[in-house]
Structures are given as C-alpha cells and as structure tokens.
Amino acid sequence: MQHFSILIVDDEEDFVETLVSRLKKRDVDAIGVRSGEEAIEYIKKKEFHVVIMDIKMPGGIDGIEAMRLIKKEHPQTEIILLTGHASIETSIEGMKFGAFDYILKPVKLEDLLKKITSALEKKKMQDENR
Ligand SMILES: [Mg+2]
C-alpha cells in the first residue's frame, strides 16, 4: 500500500493513534485528526486517497456532513465510515451520499485494512480507465 495517503478522522484519540501507527508500519502515509472540521481543513492542503471517517464526533459537523463536504471538493477520494450499532442506519444513508463502505466499531484492524485495500483497488482501476 505504498504511496497511498489516508486520513483518519475520529474523536477517539487512542484509536486514531493506534491506526496511524499500524498503517505507517505498512508504509502508508497516514494522518489522524479528531474532528470533521479538522478533516476539512486538512483536505484543503493535501489530497487523500482514502478517508476513514467516524460518524459520531462532537463539534459542529458530524461524519456524514464532513464526508459530503469532502466528496464535493474531491469526488475521487474514497470514504469508509466508522459506525457504532446505533448509527448503522446513518451509515447506510451515507452510502447513498457516496461513501465507499462502512465498518462497525469496535473495528478489527484486519477488516479495516481489507476495506482500505478494496477502496485503493477501485481507485487504481478508475485511474487506469481514465
Ligand atoms: Mg466518535
């Protein structure tokens, strides 16, 4: 997964730190932020291949809204939503707004890595067809 950049957006600091370090071990350029607002600021400075977005975060904008804003500016960025049992419906709604997939918390890293890999494969195929 080299040369890929991934933005992780989640208000749970430990989760973000763990995921960032484990992705970095796999040579992925991973950056973690803690809110939808921060994600939107970051996305202005740098293009990400995949964004991992928690749905429920404190602050002005939730994960779905942040996703919509990101997709508007960067339609090619693939978004994987992180959801708890209580917000599965919201995730399914999110798919209609262009999320690539969603994954239930607590996240198994292997499952998330598989979804990231599929999102990257989709991007690769799109790039080849362009
Ligand atoms: Mg959260």
Q: Each residue of 102-117: pLDDT tens digit?
A: 999 999 989 999 999 9
Q: Which CATH superfamily is domain 5-129 in?
A: Response regulator (3.40.50.2300)
Res 83: pLDDT? 94
pTM of the model: 0.93
Q: How far is CA 47 from the centre of its chain?
A: 12
Write the pLDDT tens digit of every residue in 4-52.
899 999 999 999 999 999 999 988 899 999 999 999 999 999 989 999 9
Output the CA 69–ligand 1 centroid distance in Å. 18
Count of C-beta atoms within a 10 Å radius of residue 110: 7
Q: Which residues surround ligand 1, an ion (CB under 5 A)?
A: 11, 54, 56-57
pLDDT confidence of 2, banded at 50, 70, 90?
Answer: low
Q: Percent of the chain at pLDDT above 70?
A: 98
Output the CA 35–ligand 1 centroid distance in Å. 9
Res 52: pLDDT? 98
Output the CA 10–ligand 1 centroid distance in Å. 6
Length of the chain: 130
Residue 124 in this model has a pLDDT that exceeds 90:
no
Alpha helices in 1-130 (DSSP H): 13-25, 36-45, 63-73, 88-96, 109-129
Sequence spans of domains, the chain: 5-129
